[in-house]
Every structure is written in structure tokens, then in C-alpha cells.
């Protein structure tokens, strides 16, 4: 795990569980997706590493991705999923594809229900939040792939943009609002 990743994660946890917690909690309650939120607890390291779960909100497994809005232009921010790493094939997208396939076979899984994507300003205040239904997103991927086994999320320009970073990592930008179940913008 790189030092940059560790620092980003530490920053994100501090924002989510402390600095912007009341703003995030207000949005979660307004979304009505979790009922009245009475419990937010960090996931275990195993849940994070194996299942892409960062936190449990009223026991609903959730992935969290916070971004700093002051690092680039406002319009350049979108919810993302990690697609590739140069040193590891088990990225978020690949793990969730396997988890969804397992769910279809067994009827149970430990996959995040939502991606909570948020943008934070230089004062550590919430600028924007989106709750993306990951299970619906991966169900649609499964359906598309089973209709045409050459389907790839990286090529689905209607829903995603595929981007590569200089460090060899890659990610999918979720362009469509189809999976957005709640959106707040200050």
C-alpha cells in the first residue's frame, strides 16, 4: 500500500467520521435510503480488503469515496470505481463482478449496497454527495455481459469513462445518473 494511498485513506476517514460527519449524516437521513441513521461504524480491514466495504450505515455495507474539490476544476469530479492496478488484479470492479456472480449462485454475498461519493472543500465541508446503487450497477453489467460476452464496462461509453493514471492504475468514471439514488449539492 503506497504512502499516498494511506494518507488519502486517513484523510477520508477523518472527514467521514469527524469533520464532515454531521453534514454527511444529514444527507444520509434526507436520502431515506438507510432509514433514520443511528449507527455508522467502520468496516473491518478484512471487509475493506476482501469486499470493498468501508463502513456500515445502519448495518448496510457501503463503500466511501471522498475527493478534495480544491485539487482540480469542479466539473472534473465524478464518482469512480478503481478498475486496475499494475501490481494486483483484485480491484474494486473485478471483486464486485465476482461477488455479484457469487450472489446469483448462492443468494448471499457481502457486497457494498452503495457507493457514497462525496466532494469536500478546502474547509473540510461537504460540497456534494451522491449515493450510487452498486448492486443495480453490477446487475446491469451482468445482464449486458450475458447478452454479449464481449461486453466490457470500459467500452460502455453511455455509462462510463475509462481513465488510466500515470502510476499504472485505472478507474471507471460513472457518467450516468441511472444508479444515483440520492444527490445533494450545496
Q: Tens of pLDDT along the chain (186 residues)? A: 567 767 888 899 999 999 999 999 999 999 999 999 999 999 999 999 899 999 999 999 999 999 998 765 556 789 999 998 887 667 889 999 999 999 889 988 789 999 999 999 999 999 999 999 999 999 999 999 999 999 999 999 999 999 998 888 899 999 999 999 999 999
Residue with cell 494486483: 88
| Cα-Cα end-to-end distance for the chain | 34
DSSP 63: E
Give the per-residue pLDDT at 7. Answer: 83
> Hey, what's the torsion of the CAs at 4, 73, 126, 64, to 10 degrees?
-40
Residue 150: which residues within 8 A CB-CB, separation 6 or more?
none
CB 171 within 8 A of CB 163: yes
140 backbone dihedrals φ, ψ, rounded to 5°: -60, -40
Give the per-residue pLDDT at 1. Answer: 55
Residues recorded for the chain:
186
Instruction: Give CA–CA dist 64/78, Å, rounded.
Output: 13
Amino acid at each position: 500500500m503506497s504512502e499516498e494511498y494511506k494518507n488519502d485513506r486517513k484523510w477520508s476517514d477523518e472527514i467521514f467520521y469527524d469533520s464532515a460527519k454531521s453534514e454527511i449524516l444529514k444527507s444520509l437521513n434526507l436520502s431515506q435510503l438507510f432509514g433514520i441513521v443511528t449507527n455508522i461504524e467502520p468496516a473491518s480491514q478484512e471487509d475493506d480488503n476482501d469486499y470493498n466495504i468501508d463502513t456500515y450505515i445502519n448495518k448496510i455495507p457501503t463503500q466511501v469515496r471522498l475527493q478534495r474539490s480544491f485539487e482540480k476544476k469542479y466539473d472534473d469530479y465524478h464518482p469512480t470505481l478503481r478498475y486496475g492496478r499494475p501490481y494486483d488484479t483484485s480491484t474494486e470492479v473485478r471483486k464486485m463482478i465476482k461477488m455479484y456472480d457469487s450472489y446469483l449462485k448462492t443468494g448471499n454475498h457481502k457486497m457494498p449496497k452503495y457507493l457514497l461519493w462525496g466532494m469536500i472543500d478546502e474547509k473540510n465541508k461537504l460540497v456534494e454527495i451522491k449515493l450510487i446503487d452498486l448492486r443495480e450497477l453490477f446487475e446491469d453489467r451482468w445482464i449486458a455481459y450475458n447478452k454479449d460476452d464481449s461486453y466490457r464496462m470500459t467500452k460502455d461509453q453511455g455509462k462510463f469513462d475509462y481513465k488510466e493514471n500515470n502510476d499504472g492504475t485505472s478507474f471507471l468514471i460513472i457518467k450516468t445518473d441511472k444508479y444515483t439514488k440520492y444527490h445533494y449539492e450545496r
